[in-house]
Amino acid sequence: MPTNSSYPEAPIPDVDLWGFLFERKDKPFSDDKVIYVDPHTNRSYTYAQVKATAIEFGQGLKALWDWQKGDVLALYTTNCIDTPAITWGTHWAGGVLSPANPAYTVDELAFQLKDAGAKAIVTQMAFIKNAQEAATKVGIPLDHVIVMGDERDPTYRVKHFTSIRKTAGSARYRRTKAKPDQDLAFLVYSSGTTGHPKGVMLTHRNIVANTMMIKVAEGGKLSSTGGPGGDGDKILAFLPFFHIYGLTCLIHQSMYSGFQLVVMPRFDLEDFCKIVQERKVTFLYVVPPIVVLLAKSPVVSKYDLSTVRMMNSGAAPLTKELVEAVYNRLKIPIKQGYGLSETSPTTHTQPWETWNTQIGSVGTLLPYQEAKYMSPEEKELKPGEVGELWIKGPNVFKGYLNNPEGTANALTPDGYFKTGDVGYQDADGNFYITDRIKELIKYKGFQVAPAELEGILLSHPSINDVAVIGVYEKEEATELPRAYVVPKDGLGRTDDEKKAIVDWLGKRVAGHKRLRGGVRWLDEIPKSASGKILRRVLKVKAQEEEQG
């Protein structure tokens, strides 16, 4: 029997995201509650301002570019307080948002734009050149590349997002309602269990459900009235909004629950500590490498972080030693959550009360979740037995865009999603993730798809064959991508040659995909009879090397 969530389950409203956030009857905070703040400029958005700006933006999309239901807007920016209004403005006009990492190279961005079929791009001045080049590559007209957050720069003749409405004239358009369980709200990119990044189709209902599920699981501990002054919880948002963790847990949770999001464009430890102290931040969503810094860096000692009541870590495994080190140093508890792009994302979280009794667990099932661990023969396992985690619920994605084969491999006919993660549950319903059977590498929470790097490396003139795996680096609490390379005759097999390959790839990919785990020479890549790379063999090799 699959395990069911033990939380109470109120009905999920049958509305799209706009209806869920902006037409609700039960909003527990006022329209002038400040939801998004930029701590560096003090610029902010209240709930009402987000709504008004989103409508203006949505009107502009319709007036300027005849925005139709299902049209895709790509977002290529760092975290910014304008992002929420752009997101829901796109939905207002019936569109779908596809967020991309601003560190992407032109080719990486062009891949996503083309795959998602994007009609326009919103970016920032810092990234305009890449955005315009990528747009040109895939045939998006340059006047469909808009900037936000910065002043207009006449050299590029780009539109600023707030000016779109003005450009549009006086016409008035009506909102396009989405069908919650059919129409897409987001196309985020994930490599899933194998291959290249794929468009994860998330419907309005997926995100509505997950936002409600997270609120229930947090047990009312985060609210519009919590925190030291009773003026609501404050969460520091440095995790990227383009990744599903930030998209749902930060942007959507804050707007639904009415707590304040203090938005950082990028992570810097000193800035992070200063903002926590000055703004009296009460809760943090983190990833394990940030926990390492909080446990070890001398910078942290200069600041008072005592207003933080709890941290939530996810996107990669967190060790017991780190949880204890941070608690001993800062007296801040850390609980774990778990999820994936394909599950919108959160499926599990530790209840606040169990952070120190179940260290190492990713928590219990959120409402509406059914889960089971399965053997390689696809037999359901009992508590304590280790297997692959399968999950079912209203937050499970609709499939991979234009990829029926990938979708059929990931989703069973009865609606289970095969996570590619391995673990077990105990008799009390606490879940543990102990390993991964999918290819995916996680560098500091960011996805790295081995197949993507292998594809690029195979075009290197001196490489005959190659396999990429992740090797765990304990000091930084992260995996690092490493390439095992079979060189063509003539390559020296020297350290200089290795470095040259690392640098060569580094010029072609975003920073998080660099071969930080180095290059190793091999005579032959271990492969199965059908030609699949035997990554396990390489992982064992890496561990043996580690142990000397």
Point out which residues bind ligand 4UW (CB under 6 A): 190, 244-245, 249, 312-317, 336-341, 345-346, 349, 362, 419-421, 433, 436, 442, 445, 447
> Are 285 and 244 contacting, i.e. CB atoms less than 8 angstroms apart?
no
d(CA 172, CA 56) in angstroms, rounded, equals 10
How many residues are listed for the chain in this entry? 548
> Are 77 and 148 contacting, i.e. CB atoms less than 8 angstroms apart?
yes
d(CA 432, CA 89) in angstroms, rounded, equals 39
d(CA 336, CA 315) in angstroms, rounded, equals 9
Nearest CB to ligand 4UW, comparing residues 239 and 275: 239
Concatenate the DSSP letters of all residues of 24-91 into one string. Answer: -S---S-TT-EEEE-TTT--EEEHHHHHHHHHHHHHHHHHHH---TT-EEEEE-SS-TTHHHHHHHHH
Closest distance of CB 339 from ligand 4UW, Å: 3
Nearest CB to ligand 4UW, comparing residues 64 and 244: 244
Closest distance of CB 186 from ligand 4UW, Å: 13
Closest distance of CB 310 from ligand 4UW, Å: 11
Nearest CB to ligand 4UW, comparing residues 244 and 467: 244
CA 72 to chain centre: 18
- Exposure string of 5-14, with b = 16+ CB inside 10 Å and e = fewer, is bebeeeebbe
Nearest CB to ligand 4UW, comparing residues 176 and 447: 447
Nearest CB to ligand 4UW, comparing residues 59 and 101: 101
Closest distance of CB 32 from ligand 4UW, Å: 29
Nearest CB to ligand 4UW, comparing residues 19 and 445: 445
Nearest CB to ligand 4UW, comparing residues 403 and 419: 419
Nearest CB to ligand 4UW, comparing residues 211 and 349: 349
Closest distance of CB 478 from ligand 4UW, Å: 11
Nearest CB to ligand 4UW, comparing residues 3 and 162: 3
Closest distance of CB 217 from ligand 4UW, Å: 9
Nearest CB to ligand 4UW, comparing residues 205 and 438: 438
Closest distance of CB 499 from ligand 4UW, Å: 29
> Are 257 and 220 contacting, i.e. CB atoms less than 8 angstroms apart?
no
What does the block give as tokens for 1? 């029997």
**Closest residue to ligand 4UW: CB criterion:** 314
Which is it for strands 34-37 and 260-263: parallel, antiparallel or unpaired?
Answer: parallel
Closest distance of CB 171 from ligand 4UW, Å: 40
Q: Where are the alpha helices (DSSP H) in 173-248?
A: 204-217, 244
Closest distance of CB 348 from ligand 4UW, Å: 8
Going by the DSSP 8-state scheme, the letter that residue 488 receives in this structure is P
Nearest CB to ligand 4UW, comparing residues 19 and 363: 363
Cis peptide before 526 (omega within 30 of 0): no
Q: How many CB atoms lie within 10 A of CB 168?
A: 18
d(CA 255, CA 469) in angstroms, rounded, equals 38
> Are 407 and 158 contacting, i.e. CB atoms less than 8 angstroms apart?
no
> Are 382 and 368 contacting, i.e. CB atoms less than 8 angstroms apart?
no
Closest distance of CB 87 from ligand 4UW, Å: 18
Q: What are phi and psi of 200, to 5 degrees?
A: -85, 115
d(CA 442, CA 298) in angstroms, rounded, equals 26
Q: What are phi and psi of 347, to 5 degrees?
A: -115, -30
Angle formed by the axes of helices 495-506 and 450-457, nearest 10°:
110
Nearest CB to ligand 4UW, comparing residues 88 and 338: 338
d(CA 415, CA 402) in angstroms, rounded, equals 19
> Are 365 and 6 contacting, i.e. CB atoms less than 8 angstroms apart?
yes
Closest distance of CB 148 from ligand 4UW, Å: 25
Closest distance of CB 350 from ligand 4UW, Å: 9
Closest distance of CB 31 from ligand 4UW, Å: 28
CA 265 to chain centre: 15
Identify the residue whose tokens are 């560096």. Answer: 40
How many helices (H) and strands (E) the chain has is answered by 16, 27
Closest distance of CB 334 from ligand 4UW, Å: 10
> Are 417 and 393 contacting, i.e. CB atoms less than 8 angstroms apart?
no
First-to-last alpha carbon distance for the chain, in angstroms, is 44
What does the block give as tokens for 301? 């000692």
∠ CA(12), CA(15), CA(19), 5° rounding?
120
Nearest CB to ligand 4UW, comparing residues 65 and 338: 338
Nearest CB to ligand 4UW, comparing residues 290 and 483: 290
